[in-house]
Structure 1
Amino acid sequence: MTTSNRPFVHLHCHTHFSLLDGANRIPDLVQKTKEMGMNAAAITDHGNLYGAMEFYTTCKAHDVKPIIGYEAYIAPGRRTDRSASRM
Structure 2
Amino acid sequence: MALASNDFVHLHTHSEFSLLDGLGRITDLVDEASAKGFDSLALTDHGALYGAV
TM-score by length of 2: 0.85
- Report the equivalent of 1:49: 49
State the distance in 2 between where 1:43 and 1:34 align.
15
RMSD of equivalent CA atoms: 1.5
- Report the equivalent of 1:16: 16
Unaligned runs of 5+ in 1: 54-87
TM-score by length of 1: 0.54
How far apart are 1:52 and its partner, in Å?
Answer: 0.6
State the distance in 2 between where 1:23 and 1:12 align.
11
Which structure has greater strand proportion?
Answer: 1
Unaligned runs of 5+ in 2: none
State the distance in 1 between where 2:10 and 2:24 align.
13
Calculate percent identity across the aligned residue pairs.
Answer: 53
State the distance in 2 between where 1:16 and 1:34 align.
19
How far apart are 1:24 and its partner, in Å?
Answer: 1.2
How far apart are 1:26 and its partner, in Å?
Answer: 0.5
Q: Radius of gyration: which is bigger?
A: 1
User: 3-state SS of the aligned residue for 2:29?
Assistant: helix
State the distance in 1 between where 2:17 and 2:49 align.
8
Please show how residues 1-87 of structure 1 align to structure 2 within 5 Å: 5-6=4-5, 7-53=7-53
Higher relative contact order (CA 8 A, sep 6+): 2
